Amino acid sequence: MTTALRRFAFALGLTVATSLAAAARAETWTTIDYPGASLTEALGINERGDVVGRWADTDGDIHGFLLRHGRFASLDVPGATFTAALDINNLGVVGGRYFDADGVSRGFTWKDGRFTQIDFPGAVDTRVRGIDDFGRLTGNYRIEDGIEHGFLIDRSGSHTIDVPESQATNAWDTNVLGRMVGWGQSETDEIIHGFLLVQGAFTQIDFPDVKNTRLFGINPQGDIVGEFDDEDDVPHGLLRTRDGMVSLDFPDGTGTFAFRINAQGDVVGSYLDADGNTHGFLRQSHGKHAANEE
């Protein structure tokens, strides 16, 4: 654990749960709760350990947050009725989404206190899901017909991403090599499948023997995190490395979502406690088998 996170845990009295697994698979799980929040979700992490996400106040209003060097800062787009920070790159640029005064979903980027509005051309709403170190943005948008399309926005322009034979596509993250992950919903049976997109070719990725799989994050090594629903519709986090795919479940949690993974193999996400309350988490691995290493 970094010095900043030690200060963070001490100052805020966070709950730390450490598994008793073998050393090669040891894990440390740390709860992340925005002070005074009724809900917290950790949605993005960079290599410096900066964490972004969203939190709800006692009135149920949703705000974004940045956790840096053990200190929380709330992020609210001016005039917005809802703000969620979904990803942060190594340059400190945050990507996310907000609702404007008319309730329309729009994307944004934020850097050093400055917000920039992001709208996919011709869309009726836009959701920025991810941002990489080149400033490439991933997300999804809708046009008048209501269909959700994924997108990539880069220096060459705005590009639609549609999984073949899907009625909806969500593009969540891309790594520095341009490998993209997300999920699509099948036109035929409405089952949700994860995808990996590499050089224009889609690969379907599903957790074995489950109904729905969603992929949210990919790191430079190609490790992928996401979520799947079991037969009882309980959500579980997932981690896919070159060694295979495993579930990630917060200790004593009743549901887990894994949203991002950085180059060190640190994972952020959210979990439900026994009372149904939502908390963010940081999972740190302490062994080469927990994430790919060169």
* DSSP per residue, 148-214: EEEEEEETTEEEEE--TTEEEEEEEEE-TT--EEEEEEETTT--EEEEEEETTEEEEE--TT-SEEE
Eight-class DSSP state of 234: -
Per-residue pLDDT of the chain (294 residues; tens, 9 = 90+): 444 433 433 334 333 333 333 333 588 999 999 999 999 999 999 999 999 999 999 999 999 999 999 999 999 999 999 999 999 999 999 999 999 999 999 999 999 999 999 999 999 999 999 999 999 999 999 998 889 999 999 999 999 999 999 999 999 999 999 999 999 999 988 999 999 999 999 999 999 999 899 999 999 999 999 999 999 999 999 999 999 999 999 999 999 999 999 999 999 999 999 999 999 999 998 754 334 333
Q: How far is CA 135 from CA 1, 97, 174, 256, in A?
A: 28, 16, 10, 29
pTM of the model: 0.88
What is the maximum span of the chain, computed from C-alpha positions, in angstroms? 53
Q: Letter for the amino acid at 174?
A: T
Architecture of domain 3-285: 6 Propeller (2.120)
φ, ψ (nearest 5 deg) of residue 12: -105, 0
Residue ranges covered by each domain of the chain: 3-285
Q: How far is CA 227 from CA 153, 193, 207, in A?
A: 25, 11, 9
